């Protein structure tokens, strides 16, 4: 083998080893979340905050601005042993007695954590999203055109009062004993959960869908 061939072979071997070593380093950094792609570095949202709250049983939501929340912004309620609030500088709050008052603005979701809740009053134009919540009694009064979605809850006595143009959806996985629902004009009701005792009062709905396990429980609708 000539000297030039030996040099070429040696250079090729070094180049392959260098490429292999670089690939190993890049993969290790990628697994640690480190990349060299400009503009792709993860950044914390400077508006994000999470704060602990005093214990409360009731929630009152309001929107101090005249502009309604848009883009499907929601107040998400999740079960937790602790009381806490996640938000993006779009909420002010205080607790008086056993009631938490939250004023929300800007179209960004906020998340509320609590062990249980018994009352929600919503005049905020923000949607409500309840998931995996347990409560002996839960009453919701929605006084603005907004959407309420309830998933995988366990509630002994549930009542809902909605003014015109409200939307309520209760999925099949909820466990409810007694149900009392009043819907205003142009409302939308999607009810799929089973229940033992129920009362429905509706007025000129735009949409009504009773399906799944709820049909087996239905005795009367007004």
Per-residue pLDDT tens over the stretch 91-144 = 999 999 999 999 988 888 999 999 999 999 998 888 999 999 899 999 999 998
pLDDT recorded at residue 37: 40
pLDDT recorded at residue 213: 63
Give pTM, 2 decimals: 0.76
Q: What percent of the chain has pLDDT over 90?
A: 50
Which stretch, 6-10, 69-73, 105-109, has highest mean pLDDT?
105-109
What is the per-residue DSSP string for 128-181? Answer: EEEES-EEEEEEEEE-SS-EEEEES-EEEEEEEEE-TT-EEEE-TT-EEEEEEE
Determine the Cα angle at 63 with ends 57 and 65, to 5°.
Answer: 160
Label residue 31 by pLDDT band (50, 70, 90): very low
pLDDT recorded at residue 203: 83
Determine the Cα angle at 117 with ends 214 and 193, to 5°.
Answer: 5
Rounded Cα distance, 111 and 51, in Å: 11
pLDDT recorded at residue 112: 96
Rounded Cα distance, 155 and 169, in Å: 15
* Segment holding 202, helix H or strand E: strand 197-202
Q: 116 or 208, which is more confident?
A: 116
Q: 67 or 190, which is more confident?
A: 190
User: Is 53:61 a contact under the CB 8 Å cutoff?
Assistant: no
pLDDT recorded at residue 39: 46
Mean of the pLDDT values across residues 11-17? 55
Tokens of 213: 């396990």
What is the per-residue DSSP string for 13-75? Answer: HHHHHHHHHHHHHHHHHHHTT----TT-S----TT-EEEE----SEEEEE--SSSPP-TT-EE
């Amino acid at each position: 083998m000539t000297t030039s061939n030996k040099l070429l072979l040696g250079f090729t071997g070094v180049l392959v080893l260098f490429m292999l070593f670089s690939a190993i380093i890049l993969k290790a950094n990628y697994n640690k979340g480190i990349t060299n792609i400009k503009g792709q570095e993860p950044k914390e949202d400077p508006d994000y905050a999470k704060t602990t709250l005093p214990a409360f049983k009731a929630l009152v939501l309001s929107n101090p601005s005249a502009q309604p929340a848009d883009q499907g912004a929601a107040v998400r309620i999740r079960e937790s042993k602790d009381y806490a609030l996640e938000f993006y500088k779009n909420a002010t709050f205080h607790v008086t007695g056993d009631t938490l008052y939250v004023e929300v603005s800007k179209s960004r979701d906020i998340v509320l954590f609590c062990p249980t809740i018994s009352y929600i009053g919503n005049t905020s134009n923000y949607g409500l999203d309840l998931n995996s919540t347990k409560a002996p009694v839960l009453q919701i009064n929605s006084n603005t055109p907004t959407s309420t979605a309830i998933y995988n809850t366990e509630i002994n006595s549930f009542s809902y009062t909605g003014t015109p143009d409200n939307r309520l959806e209760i999925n099949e996985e909820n466990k409810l004993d007694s149900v009392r629902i009043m819907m205003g004009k142009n409302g939308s009701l999607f009810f799929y959960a089973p229940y033992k005792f129920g009362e429905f009062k509706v007025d000129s709905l735009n949409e009504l869908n009773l399906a799944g396990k709820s049909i087996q429980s239905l005795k009367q609708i007004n």
